[in-house]
Amino acid sequence: MAALILEGFEAFLHEFRDVSDGARDRFASGDWEAVQAAAERRIQVYVTNREQVCRFIQEAWQEADWRAARSEFKGLIASHDYAPQAATFYNGVYRAIHPGHSTAGAPMFYDVDPVTETEPDESLTLRQQDTHLARAVENLLLETELSEFLSSPADDAGLIAKRLESEIPLLRSHPISLLETLKPVFYRNKGAYLIGRLVVEGHIFPLAIAFVRCSDGSIRTHAVLWGENKLSIVFSFTRSYFMLRSGNPSRIVGYLQSLLPAKHRWELYTSIGFYKHGKTEFVRGYQAQLKCSDDSFHIAEGIKGQVMTVFTLDSYQTVFKVIKDRFPATKSVSRQDVLAAYRLVKSHDRVGRMADTQEFINFELPRDRFEPDLLEELQKVASGTVAVNGDMVHFAHLYTERLMVPLNIYVRQCSDFQLQQVLTDYGYAIKDLAAANIFPGDMLLKNFGVTRHGRVVFYDYDEICYLTEVNFRDIPKEESGSHAAEAWFDVGEYDVFPQEFATFLFPDDRLRGMFSQHHADLFTCEGWQRIQKMIEDQILSDVFPYSARDRLAEIL
């Protein structure tokens, strides 16, 4: 049985790497449709292989000694490069075969994934110690897996060096000590990134060099980003997962965490596509947090949702979302619709505007850490999902998501300058989602959050649909002789009237005026139909995790 589970994991890993290994060629050829298809396929390979293993086990062993199997499996993966991920696969198989069983004392793997040394060996990195920055950058570019596709490495190196020297004063008076990047290039959508660090006089500057494919088919460097904050945005929880052609995930994550210490290990595993192992790390992280904290789970701030009950543990910056048993009549969605919407977001391009979620089945939290009003609320509205079992609260199903400040609360607390910025970004968030063929449905401010970087992100998915399914209409003029209380025109299921958005989204005249300065087109059919036409013409928008001022040149 242990050998069978390992065989299933190896099959998953083979497919996972097969999809990932094609990232360079898809990027170099500009096959963006294949890029999106590959991202969706890779999401599914874990579940497909796990389900196959579960079927084989249930057919072959009516009763199994899982403790013996775990011991045997531990020996089989002792020297495996992907041992932590293999253990996660084993746990997934066990839990799928034993739905509803408590994990406490279960014959599973609980050991913490060992933290990799932050100084990786030469097999993982490219290193340049030439003290001349431009020359060091050029030599680095010529060593990358994209080198054969770069049209102007010397010119690009000069632009990168000039930008870094203009922004990092230390470089003007001291030579570099080390320029280092991970060997694997990080591919995502229409971008590719070298990730590493620049060392000057003992000071470490996290670094990312971004590449794009130009309209003439050449590949050029598009931006250079330095500093933890900018690199953190590249690895944001609002972005799709990276594709890497090779590299041991535990060592990659160990290196990334040395650059981004504020990121949890689970976030970094998830960002490189090992989202199931990211869940394993998440569970270990919150369990450790419970041991070293005493704050309680409480109902999240903001307006209560009609579909979800949302609660949080402030010290872990995470929200937990539970689908309610019943929805009000004003909601035309079912539980299955909600589940499908969250699955869509998982595999779709999130363009930096939709929060990633982790889905858990049979999840448990300690009862004594719940505030009474939260426990009462859960038992009242989600009794079909939530049950108190002794000293634990058992959730048959829930989602976790990164904690953000609800936009409707943020606009009441921020300065006038921040208000103008966040309302402008709110409009761009809607447009970015639309460009990715996502219509949010309910676009009220309460359904968006603000990250620690001040970026507006959508997080309420129960009414989303593809933008191309929506029929944007002008409100017909009222027929003479009709009565105000009577509808004078028919409304289809997917009919939407943008003229209503202005007052629906912004009862406050001041906020509406500030928003309209940049996004009045969202109150017209023409604005939305223009985006629909781009999607129908298969024009994939460029939504990169950096601003125009970070770009080296407009080379697209």
Name the token pair of 94: 């066990």
Q: If we measure between CA atoms, which residue out of 119, 153, 292, 301 comes closest to residue 221?
A: 153
* First and final C-alpha spacing in the chain: 53
| The pair of three-digit structure tokens given for residue 85, joined into one six-digit string | 């991920």
CA atoms of 325 and 318, how far apart (whole Å): 23
> Are 137 and 157 in contact, with CB atoms under 8 Å apart?
yes
Q: What are phi and psi of 14, to 5 degrees?
A: -60, -45
- Cβ contact 470:494 at 8 Å: yes
Residues 6+ apart with CB under 8 A from 352: 233, 236, 238, 239, 432, 455, 457, 543, 545
Q: Find the catalytic residue in 113, 349, 356, 460.
A: 356
Measured CA angle at 530 (ends 527, 536), to 5 deg: 145
- For residues 230-240, one letter each, b for 16 or more C-beta atoms within 10 angstroms of the residue's C-beta and e for the rest, the string is bbbbbbbbbbb
**Strand, coil or helix: what is 400?**
strand
* 356 belongs to the catalytic site: yes
Give all strands (DSSP E) within 94-202, no chain letters.
125-128, 178-182, 186-188, 191-200
Residue owning tokens 């968006």: 448
Question: Comparing C-alpha atoms, which of 289, 273, 152 is closest to residue 222?
Answer: 152
Structure tokens at 187: 């591919």
DSSP 3-state of 150:
strand
Nearest Cα to Cα of residue 101 among 320, 360, 363: 363
Residue 106 in tokens: 């279960």
Interior angle at CA 169, CA 168 and CA 174, nearest 5: 100
Q: Which residues are catalytic?
A: 356
